[in-house]
Homo-oligomer: A and B are copies of this chain.
Amino acid sequence: MSSITIFGSGNMGGAIAGIAQAGNNDVQTLGKADAATPVQGDIVVLAVPYPEVAGIIEARREQLAGKVIVDITNPVNFETFDGLTVPADSSAAAVIAEALPEAKVVKAFNTTFGGTLAAKEVGPLPTTVLIAGDDADAKATVAEFVEAGGLTVIDAGALKRARELEALGFLQITLAAGEKVSWNGGFGVVR
């Protein structure tokens, strides 16, 4: 059992809160109105749009030190919808890890739409959460809470792999926006 703080209560934040509650974890959800509320969780999920992450880091830097930070973002350029806003050889997760050197950043949930997290299935397949990170203990902690919530986890490797996970997430968003796949579909993992 873990204590988990989730920033954001949208489609993704809500689905992740459901997963965390299903595993009997202590769950705290924080929104913009909670600026004065301290972070209680040992795991902190940034379930906000990427442009809002920098503000949370700026305001909560001391509280986030030592935490396991779960970055779920897809830093899509929503003006052009034709690329990502992070450097081509980097990732949102790498940018966040650089901004929070005392935290342990794990990329997760960015390759699964909220609907497939809530349903625990993508079409005929169980929903698989791909994770990446440089700290094995932090990844194990995240995997434990996700699996306790009834989902499958695959460790995709080091935090460097967040670049490919974000490419996958971006591609999936473009396919759904272009009505090539459903927002309840997308990429499923076949073992």
The answer, yes or no, to whether A181 is at the interface (CB within 8 Å) is yes
Also in contact, A171 and B178, with CB within 8 A (given A89-B88, A186-B189, A190-B185):
no
- Which residues of chain B come closer than 8 Å to A125, judged between CB atoms? 123-125, 188, 190
Interface hit among A45-53, A138-146, A150-158: A150-158
The chain B residue sitting closest to A170, CB to CB, is B164
**Residue contact B181 to A171, C-beta cutoff 8 Å:** no
Q: Does chain B have a CB within 8 A of A21? A: no
The SS class assigned to the A binding surface is mixed
Given contacts A89-B88, A156-B171, A164-B171, contact A188 B185 (CB under 8 A): no
* Residue count of chain A within 8 Å CB distance of chain B: 35
Is the CB–CB distance between A168 and B164 below 8 Å? yes
A interface with B by C-beta (< 8 Å): 82-83, 87-89, 122-125, 154-157, 160-161, 163-165, 167-168, 170-171, 174-175, 178, 180-182, 185-191
Instruction: Give 29 A-B contacts (CB < 8 Å), ordered by A residue.
Output: A83-B160, A87-B88, A123-B125, A123-B190, A124-B124, A124-B125, A124-B190, A154-B180, A155-B180, A156-B175, A157-B174, A157-B178, A161-B174, A163-B167, A164-B167, A165-B171, A167-B167, A180-B191, A181-B190, A182-B191, A185-B189, A185-B190, A185-B191, A186-B190, A187-B187, A187-B189, A188-B188, A188-B189, A188-B190
